[in-house]
Amino acid sequence: MRLNSRCPVCFQWWALLVVIVSGYSGEPAAFAQGLEHVKANYTKYEYRIPARDGKRLFTAVYVPKDSSKTYPLLLTRTPYSCKPYGVDQYRGDLGPSPLFGKAGYIFVYQDVRGRWMSEGEFVNMRPHRKTKTTPLEIDESTDTYDTIDWLIKNVPGNNGKVGLTGISYPGFYTAAGMIDAHPALVACSPQAPIMDWFIGDDWHHNGALQLPHAFNFMATFGRPRPEPTRKFEFKFDHETPDGYDFFLRMGPLPNADALYYKGDVAYWNEVMQHGNYDDFWKSRNLRPHLDQIRPAVMTVGGWFDAENLFGALETYKRIEASSSKSTNLLVMGPWVHGGWSRGDGDTLGHVSFNSKTAEFYREHIEFPFFEFHLKGAGKSTHPEAWVFETGTNVWRQYDAWPPKNVAPRSFYLRESGRLSTEAPREPDAAAAFDEYPSDPSKPVPFLDKITIGMVPEYMTADQRHAARRPDVLVYQTEILEQDTTFVGPLEVELHVSTTGTDSDWVVKLIDVYPNDYPDPANNPTQVKMGGYQQLVRGDIFRGKFRKSFEKPEPFVPNQPDRVKFTIPDICHTFRPGHRIMVQVQSSWFPLFDRNPQTFVDIYTAKSTDFKLTQQRVFHTATTPSRVTVMVQQPLAPETVKSDK
């Protein structure tokens, strides 16, 4: 299996889901060089590279047999194993794509400290030490530095240049490794990197826990590894394919350990002790340390990455703001987590992108980037940002992200389910709101199908099942007459009240297809695309953090309050004949854990804390609720038909 993609390596149920959804089956045979090619052209070596504190990091190195020239080193550091172990056991493919194996690189794969065959203690998302008081203080930056220094001095045939790349957790190690970089490290590509595990990556979005993702991942990855080992694989049996039922029956979060982990997953219990944005999470926020980055950087992400979309965008933005002298590129395509590294990238779920976007990326973006910086081959012709525009399904090239030719436009939630660019003029009135119930015992499902985990296709899934529920508010424009392109982040401002003392607020931006939209030519599931409500972007905000992630505050029952938050960037065109829709709800289950809707520490909540509430969303002149977007070309008056 590919070692730079988190989920297929970590647990069996997810690998099966990826096979079902995308046709991926572990080793990407359709794109691999193949075992015979690797053995014929490379010799494998294994080393235990000493770090500055004396711990040894297990490293596999594949060196080209052709010694007539020198080669750059391409390094991936991973917690998911650099196996197969043994100098006679070879990987079936090398590098990010087959292009690299055929072009000739020295490929290096390393088990990070404390994982698999490497010595030392493993620390999840090990905090970076900005100031080191002794030579023996380590972090992922120093381990990367020490590894590169040893490789340059001890692996024959290298040209003195090193590239660093990885997806997901290895993306984090790439980002951490380019801080205070070794002089030989000249090109880095953090892909779907983790940046902040409380605000927007993986486990939490704005303080709300991504329940199946966190639970299923930690059920296997989180098991203890007391000493270096070649075998470290655990399976977890949910004993049902129905994640909605499994997690609802599990009950409050303390039951995860009481019923299933039974004290064997230390990191889960550690997370459960930090329900607010305290120093535990802040120390694992890598963004402040991405300062004065010297290597050339190409950050890669997927618009439909359910895990680390936030991390990719934030990595690019932080380097852009703090490292003016470095090459800093962004690539965003219509992909799920790691989808650019495998498959064609032409579809996701029922949505088609009408081209092989992943293949284009591998051939025309990723490979030329490393060839230029590590070998001096070709020309540096990349734009600042390669961005795939969904809806129109075309690649765009920008000299900045977000692009400069944009203007903000607010879409207001109005009476009678209208979504309008006209702000409400109604005076404050008791009836100037929409209301819905929120019942933690019957939360809104995030997907209209049975699944045990966080399947990637939910990011473009049909939302008609949610729109028909009484606990979901729906607002939409009239039929659009012109292309309307949104780029950049979405700013949400809701004026709300609840009969409880805490609540979650979920906002979803949706593209409503025309009723005569054609069905797919190959349509084994008989999906009907006419009227399809495609999720373009959605996110959640835990209401008690509306004023501070560090110091949560309760709502005053029935008293209007403001909830304001940012949803990660999009680049999407709503075509003529489509509508723009916004849905608002207070649960999204089991994608995110349930809010008891009483002001408590949710990580220690009891069953009796969960209460039914009534939610209100206001839309008056003084309490407007809206979603503000960046429109690439300001909307003309005739773009949206009259609201009347």
pLDDT at 428 (0 to 100) = 67
E strand map for 229-327: 296-302
Q: What is the pLDDT of residues 77-134, one digit of tens each?
A: 999 999 999 999 999 999 999 999 999 999 999 999 999 999 999 999 999 999 999 8
User: For residue 308, is it within any domain?
Assistant: yes
Instruction: Answer yes or no: is pLDDT of 135 > 70.
Output: yes
User: For residue 334, is it within any domain?
Assistant: no
Residue 68's domain is classified under what CATH number? 3.40.50.1820
pLDDT at 414 (0 to 100) = 96
**462 and 599 part of one domain:** yes
Task: Point out the domain boundary residue: 327, 352, 384.
Answer: 327
Mean pLDDT of 360-366: 97
Task: Point out the domain boundary residue: 295, 312, 327.
Answer: 327
β-pairing, 185-191 vs 158-167, is parallel
Q: What is the pLDDT of residues 312-353, one digit of tens each?
A: 999 999 999 998 888 999 999 999 999 999 999 999 999 999
User: For residue 531, is it within any domain?
Assistant: yes
| Stronger pLDDT, 515 or 429, i.e. the higher one | 515
The token duo for 533 is: 């409500």
Q: What is the pLDDT of residues 467-508, one digit of tens each?
A: 999 999 999 999 999 999 999 999 999 999 999 999 999 999
Domain boundaries, position 591: 407-631
b/e per residue 265-285 (b: at least 16 CB within 10 A)? bebbbebbeebbbeeebeebb
User: For residue 453, is it within any domain?
Assistant: yes
Mean pLDDT of 513-528: 92
Q: Average model confidence (pLDDT) for the chain? A: 92
pTM score over 0.85: yes
**412 and 323 part of one domain:** no
How many CB atoms within 10 Å of residue 568? 20
Report the percent of the chain where pLDDT is more than 70.
Answer: 93
**162 and 59 part of one domain:** yes
Q: What is the C-alpha to C-alpha distance for residues 334 and 534, in angstroms, rounded to an integer?
A: 14
The token duo for 523 is: 């349509």
Among the ranges given (165-174, 223-232, 361-370), the one the predictor scored with the smallest mean pLDDT = 223-232
User: For residue 45, is it within any domain?
Assistant: yes
**584 and 449 part of one domain:** yes
CA end-to-end span of the chain: 57
**187 and 319 part of one domain:** yes
Mean pLDDT of 23-50: 76
pLDDT at 430 (0 to 100) = 60
User: For residue 307, is it within any domain?
Assistant: yes
CB contact at 8 A, 589 and 244: yes
Residue 595's domain is classified under what CATH number? 2.60.120.260
Total domains in the chain come to: 2
How many CB atoms within 10 Å of residue 263? 9
Mean pLDDT of 24-44: 72
pLDDT at 522 (0 to 100) = 85
